[in-house]
Structure 1
Amino acid sequence: MNDDRLRLDLADLADEVSPVDLRDRALRTSRRLGVQRAVATSAAAVVMLGAATGTAFALMPRDGGPAPMPATTPSTTLAPSPSAVTPTTTASPEATVTSEPAGPAATIGRVFYGPKPGGQGADPARLWSFRPGSVPVRLIPVPRIAAIGNAVVSPDGERVAWVDESSYLRVANVDGTGERTYRTSLVDPDCWTPSWAPDSQRVTVSRVVSAEPSMVTEVGVVEVSTGKFTRIGDLRGCHPLWSADGKVLAFPDGSTGRVMLTDESGRKQRSIPNVGGNADDSCLDVASLSPDGSRIALRLRGPDEDSGDVARELDVNAVLDTRTGRKLDLELGGRKLLQAYFQADGTLVARVGAGDHNVLVLLNGDGRKISETPEPTSLKGQQILGVAD
């Protein structure tokens, strides 16, 4: 890698960490509040259609044509997209890993980043990945509003799914190749955002069944190889999370501040104690669920805090036991928790502030520190989208 290439890559990443653009923030807030009002007025009208028979989404190559309305007769045409970009490493300084003898084989996997809400920068926005001991890798460009609001990386770290500006689901390899668009049905880009199933082969979405006279949607999973849609239950809320064992789906209810947990049938729903309803703390933003669904990383808001809206936020200020609502004590050395993601082995990757850079702290199931590694300073202005083992 020559010096010119490294300087260009650093310039690309610098575009993603520019100062706050107040106009962009104002426009986004207006849109998000509109979505919140739409959800509040239409949630009671949600109708589930029939039994869980498969409906196919049409898969189309990426193009610039007009966005059609939902098709009346589903298509099963599959056409792969051409390659978009090739991943390139940046010149960001390597991170130094420091370990403590508490968990012999536990390590931090591949961490994926995108732009933070409220910042300005290139559109489309570049996604990045970082593995401790290496340097950031430049990945696929995604429309900025999708990168902030709904883009999600598969558990195996191979693909990214997002909802485009026409409200169609798109899936591509993280290097930008193999992009496909699922065009039969519109899907929710703001509240029930895409979530990968643990097998990295299916994406949970909320598709629009009809838009008039009121919004009617249904939740289900799309098989990314075929476009087949299968309804999974009468679920209503925002920002679903799967447990790695595939047995638990968690999501905020989007109205009372409760966080619900259920199986994919939706018949055994329960809420986390002491969150939402009449409790002091409420939650509309969740980030990560432990492999067995027993713990969750989320943003709690107190009684005097603005509750925000339905759009996705990935900041975290607590990790809770989902059965008791008790906060897990995390060994972070007094540093502020910024984000947190569970790995498939049950360990937790916590992001904390440390001056001009952030630090990734690996914790065991009891919240005790195993190791930590500083992030490159070039990633400070980015937010983590997920961690793949």
Structure 2
Amino acid sequence: MNQDRLRLDLADLADEVTPVDLRDRALRTSRRLGIQRAVVTSAAALLVLAAATGTALAIRPDGQAPAPAVPSVTSTPPPPQVTPTPTVTPSRTPSAGPSTTTGGGPAGATFGRLFYGPSPTGDDTSTAGHLWSFQPGSQPTRLAKLPRLAAILNAVVSPDGSRVAWVDPDENLWVADVDGGNPRKLTPGGHRQVEQDCWTPVWSPDARRLAISVLLPTAPALTWEKGVVELTTGKYTPISEIQGCHPVWSADGKVLAYADGEGRVAVNRPDGTAEKLIPGLGVPGARSSFDVASISPDGSRLALLLRKPDEPAGDVARELDANAVIDTRTGRQVQLPLGGRPLLQAAFRDDGTLVARVGAGDHNVLVLIGADGRKISESREPATLKGQQILQVVG
């Protein structure tokens, strides 16, 4: 895609202000078995509802607003602000089954290492949830033990696969090694309470920072503020106001994407200064999305869960299922070589390849797709991972 066209698109932002009623959405019927009651009654959810009642707005800036009063979010001297520039590019478990290679991608391309956590629809009623890692051709490995709700709702594995961050049911932010070692509780900017359901933690591409949302106990109402915390120094930096849920951060560091709470999806700079709604989502009679799962390295494509116009939105909690990949400039769906099998999840890697998880009866299959849209290979996923959801793909 021509980068100048995208800059013009971002400059041509609408100037209206549209209310976003996250409270209404959070009260709608949830399709996520096993966590609905816990999400709706959690302390964080109640605080989100209180804040959303008075302040939840999706702002479409016109490009003429004053510059934000906070610096660009980085741990080193900030570079010049850059508009997002997506471009269109065509325990005891059985071992994995054999892979099938079909060509169409770079020589030697592999799936890398996948990280899993418990699924919202799993049958396990325990209070703990484990992370797992898996590489096709080997057996799954059990990793850190987390609070089960945190593992489902907000746990995120770093892009380098070394650490996991999560928010526990008491709204404390934690970071640890993926095997559970070296756990550390953080209080970003002195704020103890961190959002666990809506604007959940997301890693920066360099795995040195986390974008989060902290609670500001200000009068007359409690308010959530989005910001970034540097893990080495603990420094916390607020970012420009963004209203939305479930952010993902592109590997090139230039694009933040998120659902706005009304069925629309936006792309933005990581400092929050250039929001652009993706066309065709959340408008009357069209598809909507409240859950964004993964973003391509240059921000040109998103894997997400699209809902039909009459399909319930669910609650405000994170859902990592994906049934489509779309172009962020046009909103059009990208065709994937899945052989007619249903897409369950999709995760972009930092080399532009896509790992698609598709259903195949009592097990799932992983399909590796090149940046050119052609199938590279596929591998059978162990049946024991069927009740887990993919959190991250590394390498």
Map 1:184-195 to 2 at 5 A.
184-185=190-191, 186-195=193-202
**Residue 303 (structure 1) aligned to one of 299, 309, 312:** 309
Distance 2:45 2:168 in 1: 19
Distance 1:36 1:225 in 2: 29
State the shift of 1:93 in Å.
1.9
Task: Tell me if structure 2 keeps the 8 A contact 1:151–1:160.
Answer: yes
After TM superposition, the structure 1 stretch with the greater mean CA deviation from structure 2, 127-136 or 113-122, is 113-122
Residue 23 of structure 2 corresponds to none
Residue 142 of structure 1 corresponds to 146
SS at structure 1 position matched to 2:336 = coil
Q: Which amino acid aligns with 1:138?
A: R
Distance 1:215 1:387 in 2: 36
* Structure 1 vs Structure 2 CA RMSD: 2.6
State the shift of 1:50 in Å.
5.8
Q: Which amino acid aligns with 1:194?
A: P
Q: 1:95 to 1:190 in 2, by over 3 A?
A: same
Distance 2:93 2:282 in 1: 45
Task: Tell me if structure 2 keeps the 8 A contact 1:53–1:231.
Answer: no
Distance 1:45 1:145 in 2: 28
Q: 1:45 to 1:384 in 2, by over 3 A?
A: closer
Task: Tell me if structure 2 keeps the 8 A contact 1:95–1:135.
Answer: no
Task: Tell me if structure 2 keeps the 8 A contact 1:90–1:138.
Answer: no
Residue 316 of structure 1 corresponds to 322
Identify the structure with bigger relative contact order (alpha carbons < 8 Å, sequence gap 6+): 2
State the shift of 1:354 in Å.
0.7
Distance 1:322 1:197 in 2: 20
Q: Does 1:241 align with 2:248?
A: yes
- Residues 160-188 of structure 1 deviation map (CA, whole Å, 9 limit, x = unaligned): 00001211110000011111001331111
- Residues 131-161 of structure 1 deviation map (CA, whole Å, 9 limit, x = unaligned): 1111101100010000000000000000000
Q: 1:23 to 1:187 in 2, by over 3 A?
A: closer
Could you state the TM-score of these two structures normalised by the residue count of structure 2? 0.79
Distance 1:199 1:28 in 2: 31
Distance 1:22 1:236 in 2: 26
Taking only the aligned residue pairs, the percentage that are identical comes to 53
Distance 1:21 1:306 in 2: 11
Q: 1:372 to 1:39 in 2, by over 3 A?
A: farther
Residue 93 of structure 1 corresponds to 95
State the shift of 1:45 in Å.
8.8
State the shift of 1:279 in Å.
5.1
Task: Tell me if structure 2 keeps the 8 A contact 1:25–1:117.
Answer: no
SS at structure 2 position matched to 1:178 = coil
Could you state the TM-score of these two structures normalised by the residue count of structure 1? 0.80
Distance 1:353 1:287 in 2: 17
Q: Which amino acid aligns with 2:155?
A: A
- Residues 172-215 of structure 1 deviation map (CA, whole Å, 9 limit, x = unaligned): 00011111001331111110000000000101001112265322
Q: Which amino acid aligns with 1:232?
A: I
Residue 111 of structure 1 corresponds to 114
Distance 2:367 2:57 in 1: 44
Residue 70 of structure 2 corresponds to 51
Q: Which amino acid aligns with 2:113?
A: R
SS at structure 2 position matched to 1:239 = strand
Q: 1:134 to 1:270 in 2, by over 3 A?
A: same
Distance 1:259 1:134 in 2: 37
Q: Does 1:175 align with 2:145?
A: no
Q: 1:369 to 1:303 in 2, by over 3 A?
A: same
Q: Which amino acid aligns with 1:51?
A: V
Distance 1:187 1:129 in 2: 26
SS at structure 1 position matched to 2:239 = strand
Q: Which amino acid aligns with 1:115?
A: P
Task: Tell me if structure 1 keeps the 8 A contact 2:70–2:240.
Answer: no
